[in-house]
């Protein structure tokens, strides 16, 4: 009778463990599925906002192309000035050395700059 009781306890514990593991995997799967749907929803919101902006401003690529093909003249403003700057080889080398030092420091300390933006839904 002790063997029968032992086997029943082992069977119960195994069954409970399998159900628990299945439940946890379903929780993670549904979490990933929800995150994927949220990302797709955010992409659609961004595209919607861009299309609404294009409609409001009448600035679609087709409209811009039509304006260019109609022969509208585009002129630079009168206050426009072109400024040229020249780098001497010494200044160029110094700027490259500074960039290398920043890369070395950021690699040593693991500093990574990351920009994140979130859209505001309507």
Domain boundaries, the chain: 2-72
Sequence-separated (6 or more) residues with CB below 8 Å from residue 60: 54
Distances in whole angstroms, Cα of residue 83 to Cα of each of 72, 80, 86, 89: 27, 10, 10, 19
Tokens 């799967």 belong to which residue?
A: 29
Q: Find the angle CA(71)-CA(62)-CA(59) to the nearest 5 degrees.
A: 90
Give the global pTM. 0.39
Position 89 scores a pLDDT of: 74
CA 87 from centroid of its chain's CA atoms: 36
pLDDT tens-digit profile of 31-86?
A: 999 999 999 999 999 989 888 887 777 766 677 777 767 765 666 666 767 666 66
């Amino acid at each position: 009778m002790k063997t029968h009781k032992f086997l029943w306890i082992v069977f119960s514990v195994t069954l409970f463990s399998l159900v628990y593991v299945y439940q946890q995997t379903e929780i993670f799967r549904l979490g990933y599925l929800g995150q994927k749907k949220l990302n797709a929803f955010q992409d659609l919101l961004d595209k919607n906002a861009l299309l609404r902006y294009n409609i409001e401003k009448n600035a679609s690529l087709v409209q811009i192309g039509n304006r260019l093909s109609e022969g509208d003249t585009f002129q630079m403003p009168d206050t426009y000035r072109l400024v040229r700057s020249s780098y001497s080889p010494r200044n160029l080398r110094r700027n490259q050395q500074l960039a290398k030092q920043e890369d070395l420091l950021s690699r040593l300390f693991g500093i990574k700059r990351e920009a994140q933006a979130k859209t505001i839904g309507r």
